[in-house]
Amino acid sequence: MDLPVDEWKSYILQKWSLLPKSIQVTISTAETLHDLFLHSSPLLQPEDEMFLKRLSGGYLVGKDPDTSLFYREKGNQKFQAKDYMGAAVLYSKGVSHSGPSSTDISLCYANRSAALFHLGQYETCLKDIVRAQTHGYPERLQPKLLLRKAECLVTLGRPQEASQTIIDLESSFAAKPTLSASQFQILQRTLCRVKVKVQEKENLPEIFPEALTKTFEGVDLREENEQIPGASSSVSLHIDPLKGRYLVATKDILPGELLVKEDAFVSVLNPGEVPLRPRGLESKWDIQVTNGDLHCHRCLRHTLAPVPCDGCSYAKYCSQECMQQAWDRYHSVECSLGALLLTLGLFCHVALRSTLLARFEDVGKVTKKLCGEMSNQGICLPESKNPVQTLKYDLGGEGDKKDKAVETPIPGCDINGKYERNYNAIFHLLPHTENHSPEHKFLCALSVSALCRQLEAAGLQAFTTDLKPTKLKAAEPPVLCAELSVWGVAMLRHMLQLQCNAQAITTIQQTGSKESLITDTRRVRLATALFPVVSLLNHSCSPNTSVSFIGTIATIRASQLIRSGQEILHCYGPHESRMGVAERRQKLRSQYFFDCDCPPCEREKQRPSAGPGRGAFRCHRCRALLQGDDVLSCSGPDCMESVSRDLLVSRLQDLQRQVGAAQKHLRNGRLEVAIQLLLGCQSDVESFLSAEHSVVGEIEDALAQAYAALGDWEKSATHLQKSLQVVEVHHGPSSVEMGHELFKLAQVFFNGCAVPKALKTIQKAEKVLLVHYGPWNDEIRELQKMKSCLLDLLPIPVGPKE
Ligand SMILES: [Zn+2]
Ligand SMILES: [Zn+2]
Ligand SMILES: [Zn+2]
Ligand SMILES: [Zn+2]
């Protein structure tokens, strides 16, 4: 999803392998990105572009008004079945595919407003009613819509407006009696009901709806760093030839302290698995729901009522404002390129959007910078090995390098040493040009070239006319080719940077059936983004911070006590609790080009058997640890048992498959089947795995869910406590994983009315989650609600021993 689709990748790799040796050498040894781009770009032939065009032709990204009726009918089926959530999503798909100001789109909006009404989303329902009306909702159907509007207004505690709506409604009845007698009667009855409600409400004080949107702006750094806006004053920026740039604590930092709060410079929503246009006739249009259907393409906010771009079916927004902002800043260029961008992958998309956003900064400076890259070789020399070379870039001239290098700000900072969230900072993220394989660089260069050609074809005017006027280009007409190659080089740089600097924006998605009373959560990747400040942090397999996201904003909190002078570290992915040392080091080397020497890595290198997964197999006779490589033998004192590793591994895989099947039954509400299967797995585990194996945790967790769904809270709690033990062994007592598990346990105790236990667990869960998320987290709010509810119930104060 980050890189181009496999077909294009293998096509380009084959093209590379067929190139004459001399050209391969020229490209492989190109010293600057500009040279790389200059030598690769002309190799993109018309037939290559045709091939790419065929590939992207598989994605349906334009409007297809024929599908509107299809989605509306599918939505109606869900609506009939009272699956209002499912109905809303399908109506949204209908909305995206209908042209603006068509009857189709107005009908889809109107139907969606009905679904939202049933979901209790009254504010959004009202918005959809207005949308239906502005897009030309048929006159004869208006009464139904107006009634819904009145009901919404009543529920929202706005009786005056509701009365006005009813007056409008009655006068439209009188003017055009378009309804059949029976329809009229039904409407009359509803109208009476609403009128009564209005009267009731009019006598009550106004009730304001609970604010649904998170006031995240309320979360702030205690004291902002003067040098690095977005970071706390408890850290400072340093540079070192080996480590590059990094952050250090300037004072003791307590667990939970907010260290960074930063809005992404650029982010692109991960559309999820976008299905290709089906070739067969049956199941003509897909009804699968992906990230792209549920999140705003600009701010990533979750929404059941997106408004689509007028020009395409794939870009959808939480509001008109977001749509306008996106259009002005980048979507006017991207709109027609949807299919190509899906084919070329997210990195290419982020690269394009970054350069588009750069237009809104001082273009003169940016262009100079980009041109600087063309003339100044320093920028592309191996930066990590020789940071002085990169510093040279900022100097412009060669001159008295040494004297100036001292004063030169750290790369990415301005002359005053300020590191800001701007294109300058993005530009200085390391592309590690010398570390990427020639094939990879060729793939990136040709993908960017293809994108440039499309931009050119779509009229570069659109691309450049939005530029703020500058002295630089006021006079002469834009020189298309030269200009494009500047943008091309910049995009290539971003594509290469992204491998090491892209930050996945993740969100906790709640899974499980609607009825399940305890929440099952899953971390999913929502977007790919660049955060200049977050990028300053180095990696550790055992980090001292925790990252979380709300929309496009990242927050980093200390997850433990950080002493003054210690480095602030976060984990790039390979965490010690999830991977053994060998796998971690291999991953970090291949993706980030460095050898990790964090304390766990150093420790495990000496004692490799300590990693997770090792020591996991147990003797079925005496339960002692099995040791060895290909053949494991029992470590028990009087036991001669030995087993081949292959056999154990295949048993483990079998077991994991069964657990997966049980979880599926669970999701589909087949609780008894799931429980039987899980109990079988449980006894299987005992014969060959240690009690701390992660699969044991999964089994216990699934059992807890099943019993919760059956309302057997006591059993559910017992299993959850076992799962908690496993999580603690793997992730530590104050890990975010522990926090989620404690949250579930709190829910179970709460539902089972085990008041003292619930209160105690709530307290524990709150403590752990606060460190990772701060007070604005959904789970923490839920915990607080439970607590106040329980305290109301509590007959006697809880003794300290409980
Ligand atoms: Zn939005
Ligand atoms: Zn569009
Ligand atoms: Zn490490
Ligand atoms: Zn044994």
Average pLDDT of 176-191? 65
Ligand 4 centroid–CA 637 distance in Å is: 8
Ligand 3 centroid–CA 625 distance in Å is: 26
* AA identity, residue 542: S
Q: What is the pLDDT of residues 484-529, one digit of tens each?
A: 778 888 899 999 999 989 999 988 766 544 444 555 666 788 999 9
Ligand 1 centroid–CA 269 distance in Å is: 11
Ligand 3 centroid–CA 598 distance in Å is: 4
Ligand 2 centroid–CA 307 distance in Å is: 11
Long-range contacts of 721-727 (CB under 8 A, 24+ apart): 721/745, 722/696, 722/697, 723/697, 723/698, 725/692, 726/691, 726/692, 726/693, 726/694, 726/696, 726/697, 726/700, 727/697
Ligand 1 centroid–CA 21 distance in Å is: 50
Ligand 1 centroid–CA 403 distance in Å is: 48
Instruction: Say yes or no to pLDDT of 28 above 80.
Output: yes
Which ligand number lies closest to the CA of residue 63?
2
Q: What is the pLDDT of residues 530-571, one digit of tens each?
A: 999 999 999 999 899 999 888 899 999 999 899 999 999 999
Which ligand number lies closest to the CA of residue 296?
1
**pLDDT at res. 274:** 65
Tell me the range of 76-80, 99-103, 747-751 where mean pLDDT is highest: 76-80
For the chain, the first-to-last Cα distance in angstroms comes to: 50
| Lookup: tokens for 380 | 């592309």
Ligand 1 centroid–CA 273 distance in Å is: 21
**pLDDT at res. 794:** 62
What HEC string does 392-442 produce?
HHHHCCCCCHHHHHHHCCCCCECCCCCECCCHHHHHCCCCCCCCCCHHHHH
Which ligand number lies closest to the CA of residue 96?
2
Q: List the shell of residues around ion ligand 1, using CB closer than 5 Å.
A: 296, 298-299, 301, 318, 322
Which ligand number lies closest to the CA of residue 300?
1
CB 546, CB 772: distance < 8 Å: yes
Separate counts of helices (H) and strands (E) for the chain: 33, 15
Whole-number Å distance between alpha carbons of 380 and 37: 13
Whole-number Å distance between alpha carbons of 659 and 701: 11
Give the total residue count for the chain: 802
Q: State the pLDDT confidence band at 18, using cuts at 50, 70 and 90.
A: very high
* AA identity, residue 793: L
Task: Calculate the dihedral angle through the C-alpha atoms of 504, 507, 512, 517, rounding to the nearest 10 degrees.
Answer: 160
Whole-number Å distance between alpha carbons of 583 and 730: 17
More confident residue, 399 or 646: 646
Ligand 4 centroid–CA 295 distance in Å is: 53
H or E element that contains 525? strand 520-530
Which ligand number lies closest to the CA of residue 302?
1
**pLDDT at res. 59:** 84
Strands 538-539, 569-570: pairing kind: parallel
Which ligand number lies closest to the CA of residue 583?
3
**pLDDT at res. 429:** 87
Please calculate the CA angle 389-393-350 and round it to the nearest 5 degrees.
100
Average pLDDT of 163-168? 84
Return the minimum-mean-pLDDT range out of 145-159, 400-414, 486-500: 400-414
Return the minimum-mean-pLDDT range out of 218-227, 507-516, 538-547, 598-607: 507-516
Ligand 4 centroid–CA 633 distance in Å is: 8
Ligand 1 centroid–CA 742 distance in Å is: 32
Ligand 4 centroid–CA 644 distance in Å is: 14
Phi, psi of 461 (to 5 degrees): -45, -50
Q: What is the pLDDT of residues 120-150, one digit of tens each?
A: 889 999 999 999 999 989 888 888 888 899 8
Ligand 2 centroid–CA 308 distance in Å is: 8
Ligand 4 centroid–CA 351 distance in Å is: 57
Instruction: Say yes or no to pLDDT of 52 above 50.
Output: yes
Which ligand number lies closest to the CA of residue 338?
2
Which ligand number lies closest to the CA of residue 636?
4
More confident residue, 178 or 467: 178
Ligand 3 centroid–CA 419 distance in Å is: 27
Sign of the alpha-carbon torsion through 482, 487, 490, 492: negative
Question: Who's near 84: CB < 8 A, 6+ residues apart?
Answer: 78, 115, 116, 118, 119
Average pLDDT of 578-598? 87
Q: By three-state DSSP, how is residue 547 classified?
A: strand
**pLDDT at res. 279:** 52
Q: What is the pLDDT of residues 719-760, one digit of tens each?
A: 999 999 988 888 888 888 899 899 999 999 988 888 889 999
Which ligand number lies closest to the CA of residue 213?
1
Ligand 3 centroid–CA 604 distance in Å is: 9
Which ligand number lies closest to the CA of residue 584?
3
Q: What is the pLDDT of residues 341-371, one digit of tens each?
A: 999 999 999 999 998 888 777 545 655 555 5
Average pLDDT of 684-709? 88
**pLDDT at res. 484:** 74
Ligand 2 centroid–CA 309 distance in Å is: 5
Q: What is the pLDDT of residues 264-316, one digit of tens each?
A: 999 999 987 766 665 544 445 677 778 888 899 999 988 899 999 999 999 99
| Lookup: tokens for 220 | 């702030």
